[in-house]
Amino acid sequence: MIIKSYPFERATLIKEAWQNSQITGVAFGGLTYEQFCSGIAPSYDTRADYAQTLNIGVGQRQAIDNADETTADLVQRASDGVKSHPDYGINSPFYRQCGYVPKNQRKSGNTRGGTSEPDLPPTGSLN
């Protein structure tokens, strides 16, 4: 991610123009080329540090994703093992502690069916 900054972009253009024109010995605004470059150096250094930090973050995010894939596989294996265990299966307190809802405590899933007929006006009403 590049942080846009008008002063930084302008400083880069001035520095490049000063150098490309081969007039680094000429002072502008009381500043020599060397003074100007040393004055703007913290902007370049800070941006370089920021870019490096972003690259480290991207690498760490990839490491997290890779580790989570392994974790997901292990969770699936353990979960299947808990579900099929004769003493600690799907109705046990251990199963509940693992974050699951025991089968004997689940809602049935059955719902009462409503009428599909639209509401009719009461009979005998005159419009």
pLDDT in the model for residue 102: 87
| Domain locations along the chain | 6-103
Task: Give helix then strand counts, H and E, for the chain.
Answer: 3, 0
pLDDT in tens, 28-79: 999 999 999 999 999 999 999 999 999 999 999 999 999 999 999 999 999 9
pLDDT in the model for residue 115: 63
Amino acid at site 45: D
CA distances from 116 to 109, 113, 123 (A): 20, 9, 19
CB–CB of 33/24 below 8 Å? yes
| Max CA pair span of the chain | 104
